[in-house]
Amino acid sequence: MCIAAFIWQAHPLYPLLLLQNRDEYHNRPTEPVAWWDGSEILGGRDAVAGGTWLACSRTGRVALLTNVLELHPFPEAKSRGELPVLFLESTKSPKEFAEGLVKDAHQYNGFNLVLADISSKSMVYLSNRPKGEPVVIQEVSPGLHVLSNAKLDSPWHKVQRLKLNFKDLLDKYGESEIPVKEALKKLMRDKVKADKGRLPGICSSDWEYNLSSIFVEIDTPLGCYGTRSTAALTIRADGEVSFYEIHLEKNVWKESIVNYRIQKLN
């Protein structure tokens, strides 16, 4: 499970500022944020299936993926992590890519996908859940949004809490530069869980309760599961990009940062 909060086309310094937690088993092989060999893609990488959950490109494209919380996922489904890669490697607009994905969306377990192109100021959200319903494709409006493991801006405890805290931070700094490290520490390390009466009721209540905080940490029979990376992706109006990540490596938290400038920003 993952959660991300982002402000889109609503801040004078940042066309996009995104904060994200990736939740996964701590023992699943993962590569930290870096440029992929032979590629224009920058992001973390799942070393098992080869995909990603958050990445960007030199041309100003961004893709964010979260799973949809559901019972009984299909074990033979295609890897959802390939979807951001396919978008970043394509030349289609976010909307064109989303529309082209509709016919194959059923081949994946439940997913949420946010696709953006900074140059054209376009962002779309799509999801292949609920099952049996048409694939949702919507333009993302300017403003503050939060995506977890249900629909974009769904009123889950952790979503509402992160949105409120992020708004307070934005109000504090106004139109000034936002200190990313402070934002990550203050917003994304939050371990406050939901009241059990506010859980979505999809899986067992114990599992949902443990997943209900923004920062997740659970001991399971398969090993520790929870937040194993926290990232901030900032894109400035002049095309300067900064991808900062705090990630777990052999049970030690390490930092990495990559900066670059978008090519041919309009």
Cα–Cα distance, 178 to 181 (Å, whole number): 9
- Cα maximum dimension of the chain: 51
CA 5 to CA 160: how far, in whole Å? 10
What is the four-CA torsion angle of 151, 131, 88, 245, rounded to 10 degrees? Answer: 50
CATH architecture, domain 2-261: 4-Layer Sandwich (3.60)
Instruction: Calculate helix-pair angle for 94-101, 82-89, nearest 10 degrees.
Output: 130
Residue 53: per-residue pLDDT: 98
Q: Is residue 153 within 8 Å of residue 159, measured between CB atoms? A: yes
Beta carbons within 10 angstroms of residue 246's beta carbon: 22
Residue 3: which H helix or E strand, with range? strand 2-8
Reading the chain (266 residues) residue by residue, the pLDDT tens digits are: 799 999 999 999 999 999 999 999 999 999 999 999 989 999 999 999 999 999 999 999 999 999 999 988 999 999 999 999 999 999 999 999 999 999 999 999 999 999 999 999 999 999 999 998 999 899 999 999 999 999 999 999 999 999 999 999 999 999 999 999 999 999 999 999 999 999 999 999 999 999 999 999 999 999 999 999 999 999 999 999 999 999 999 889 999 999 999 987 65
What are the boundaries of each domain within the chain? 2-261
User: 8 CB contacts (<8 Å, ≥6 apart)?
Assistant: 15, 16, 116, 123, 140, 141, 142, 143, 145
Q: For the chain, how are helix, strand and coil distributed in percent, rounded to 5?
A: 20, 40, 40
Query: Looking at residue 132, what is its pLDDT?
Result: 87
Gyration radius (Cα) of the chain, Å: 17
At 266 the pLDDT is: 56
For tokens 């905080």, what's the residue? 213
Q: Which residues are 123's β-sheet partners?
A: 116
